[in-house]
Each structure stands twice: as structure tokens, then as C-alpha cells.
Amino acid sequence: MKFFVDTADTEEIRELADTGLLDGVTTNPSLIAKSGRDFFDVIKEICSLVDGPVSAEVAATDYDTMLEEGKKLAGLADNVAVKVPLTMAGLKTCSQLAKQGTQVNVTLCFSAAQAILAAKAGAAYISPFVGRLDDIGQDGMNMISDVVQIYANYPAFQTEVLVASIRNPTHIVNSALMGADVCTVPPQVLKQLVSHPLTDKGLAAFLADWEKTGQKIL
């Protein structure tokens, strides 16, 4: 499974990139606004920090403007993946950009039916939002299971399942068990994956025993 981080905070991205665990980055208008910085400057900097795809989202809702925005974003760096909403205009834009060799991330997916359309449109990634479905009393992970199974039924589909709106490590583990290709994760949730009380307890015991030996490695 690949890990993308869902943020526009370049310091967080730099820190995580240094671990070797980061495969890409996703951003959205809300995250860019939170950064308080110029949109294009942020995207360019992020693209320089990671080798993998960096999702940059269009702001338009009509096809013609969305397509032009997508072309402009794709020109910012070789590893930009243009993010478009799962609307009819977004799918049409996805199809045109994909034909031109641009990676497209179709976002705001909330059903397996929508995911089928994104794959048909040639999306490189589909972003199903599990947390937001959980928020309204539905089981977001059921959607992931359905999408993974449907895509597996049709080898011609090359779209990767990029699980989004992740709220906790359990979402990540369940996504991996279901065979999802990517999880895009807030930095704090990604850092939670490394934590376990027994790891802390075991390390403390090892260090205490080592201290008793009076030896040093360096």
C-alpha cells in the first residue's frame, strides 16, 4: 500500500518525506486556504519535496474552465496529478486530460457507482471519502470493499483506489486488508501508526537493561 499525506503544510511534508514512508501528497482548496500562502507557490514547493504524485485541485465547476485550469496545473510540475470533482463536468475533464497523458485524481466519491464512472473516464486515482460517510451513519469501508472488488473484476480498469477522509489508523488497516492501493492520511494519523504502548514499554525495558551493563556502542 502507498501512503499519501493529506496536507498543504510543507514543513510537515518535508518531515515525513525524510522518513522514506511518503509516496505522494494530496491537497484541496480547504488545505491551501489553511496554509495562508499563494496556491501556485505551495504546489510547486510540494512537488519539489516528493517524487510521487501531488494532487492539485481545480476550482471551476464548468467543463471548459475546469479543463483549462487542469492544463495549467499540470504544467506546474511533472508530478502534478490534477484533482477534479466527481461531477459530469469533472468526468469529462478527466477523460480529456487523461487522453493528453495527465494523471487525474477524481475526488468526492461517495458510492461504488460513482467509482465505476471515474474508471471509465480514465482516472489515475479515485478518492472515496470514508470518514464523511461514517459521519452520516453509513459504513464508509463497505464502499471501499465494493470498489476494490469491482475494479478487480475488470482488468482494463487501471484506476487506483485512493482512500480519503481517513480519521484513524483502523481505516488504514481495513483499507489494506481490502486491497486498496493508496491511503491519503492527515499527518497526525500517519504518525499514530507508529505508536503502541507495548513498543514504548519494551523499549524502556531494553534501555534500562542496557544501562546496567555500563557499555556504550559509540
Domains of the chain, first to last = 2-187 (3.20.20.70)
* Mean pLDDT, the chain, whole residue set: 97
Please tell me the predicted confidence (pLDDT) of residue 92: 98
Q: Are 24 and 53 in contact (CB under 8 A)?
A: yes
Among residues 118, 117, 165, the alpha carbon closest in space to that of 141 is found at: 165
Give the predicted TM-score (pTM) of the model: 0.94
pLDDT tens digits along 3-55 = 999 999 999 999 999 999 999 999 999 999 999 999 999 999 999 999 999 99
Please tell me the predicted confidence (pLDDT) of residue 37: 94
pLDDT tens digits along 65-98 = 999 999 999 999 999 999 999 999 999 999 999 9
pLDDT tens digits along 47-60 = 999 999 999 999 99
Beta-strand runs (E) in 51-199: 54-57, 80-85, 104-109, 125-128, 160-163, 182-185
Please tell me the predicted confidence (pLDDT) of residue 201: 97
Beta-strand runs (E) in the chain: 2-6, 24-26, 54-57, 80-85, 104-109, 125-128, 160-163, 182-185
**Helices 169-178, 140-153: crossing angle, 10 deg rounding:** 20
Specify whether 83 is catalytic.
Answer: yes
Over residues 106-132, the mean pLDDT reads 98
Catalytically annotated residue among 2, 44, 83, 201: 83
